[in-house]
Amino acid sequence: MKVLISVEKAINRGLLMIHIPILMIFLTTVFLLSYLILNNYVEPWFTPFGLIFGILFLLIYRNFAITKWRIWAYENVRNINELKQKARLHKLIGRDGNFFERIEIRSQYQNEKLKILEKRINVKDIFRDDISVPKETKIFYAKHLGIGGLFVGMFFLATGFYLLFGKEKSIFGLLPIIGSIFPFKKGIKIIRDKNYQILINSEGIKLKNEELISWKYIQEANMDFDPNFNHHGSHIQHYFSFVVNGNVVNVPINELNVNHIRLKHLLQVYRVRYEKENKVRSI
């Protein structure tokens, strides 16, 4: 009987096969270009062409390597759905059918093999309890982010006063003073809020100021994490989403004291406990 490996081991191998070589290719390109330019082997105008060549080589390697890793992982991991979700969290793959999946380099044999292996997605994943997880988990705002916001606000404020009342006495000092308002406001909000933002246990999920939602009504198949640009377009926002009675609930987690990988594990553990306590039969 074939011994299957854990999702975590498959992800770690993916990081070694894909992310680390990609980083090395990029750094080698930058160092090589710097060496050639500083030693007058090539002219500075060659820099963008060298970077484009390095990025193309990087993409070619990535598109070969990701196919090899997919086949190996799908053959050696039991929980294919969990594998794909966690691979997305680690930026190994994107959503099915996205641009980067379409440009993956596959032979006809590899393509046919992946189609066969991906049929296992229809098989329900098997999860086990984790005794290290407590009976109930409360997730709060990350206080260090609030403190960081206050420091950023103080820096902007000090810079503004220096520009306004220093030697230059520039009116442009008003800009950082105005800019300090947002980090101050955000930092104070996080520090003052002592309530949990999410509570999870074997009964369900409870969001702040909301009623507890039983696992019975949460559609696990739609529970996922996605990196998306927030409405400011300034940074990547992580959130988890689930469907309750046809309604999608999105919960941002960037400012919470838990990362998306840990939260995903907690959700799996408490779902398992709910099914065990209520004798829910796995299909």
Query: Which tops the pLDDT comparison, 124 or 159?
Result: 159
Residue 52: band (very low, low, confident or very high) from pLDDT cuts 50, 70, 90: very high
Highest mean pLDDT among 2-6, 79-83, 108-112: 108-112
Rounded to whole angstroms, the Cα distance separating 117 from 123 reads 11
What pLDDT does residue 225 have?
A: 58
State phi, psi for 233 to the nearest 5 degrees: 70, 20
What are the E-state strand segments in the chain? 136-139, 198-201, 204-207, 213-214, 218-229, 236-244, 247-252
Over 60: is that where the pLDDT of 1 sits? no
Rounded to whole angstroms, the Cα distance separating 184 from 160 reads 14
Rounded to whole angstroms, the Cα distance separating 45 from 6 reads 48
Of 251, 267, 275, the closest CA to residue 137 belongs to 267
Rounded to whole angstroms, the Cα distance separating 143 from 256 reads 9
Q: DSSP class of residue 130?
A: -
What are the E-state strand segments in 213-268? 213-214, 218-229, 236-244, 247-252
Residues paired with 249 in a beta bridge: 242
Of 249, 252, 227, the closest CA to residue 141 belongs to 252
Whole-angstrom CA distances from 130 to 135, 201, 203, 268 are 11, 13, 16, 10
Over 90: is that where the pLDDT of 170 sits? no
Does the predicted TM-score (pTM) go above 0.85? no
Residue 224: band (very low, low, confident or very high) from pLDDT cuts 50, 70, 90: low
Query: Which tops the pLDDT comparison, 259 or 138?
Result: 138
Residue 82: band (very low, low, confident or very high) from pLDDT cuts 50, 70, 90: confident
Over 50: is that where the pLDDT of 229 sits? no
State phi, psi for 234 to the nearest 5 degrees: -95, -25
Chain mean pLDDT for the chain: 85
Over 60: is that where the pLDDT of 226 sits? no
Over 80: is that where the pLDDT of 3 sits? no
pLDDT single digits (tens) 53-76 = 999 999 999 999 999 999 999 999
pLDDT single digits (tens) 232-262 = 444 567 778 888 887 888 888 888 998 877 8
Rounded to whole angstroms, the Cα distance separating 75 from 95 reads 20
Over 70: is that where the pLDDT of 222 sits? no
Over 90: is that where the pLDDT of 197 sits? yes
pLDDT single digits (tens) 110-135 = 989 988 888 877 777 777 788 889 99
DSSP characters over 164-210: HHSSS--GGGHHHHHHTHHHHHHHHHHHH--S-SEEEESSEEEETTS
Of 59, 37, 61, the closest CA to residue 50 belongs to 37
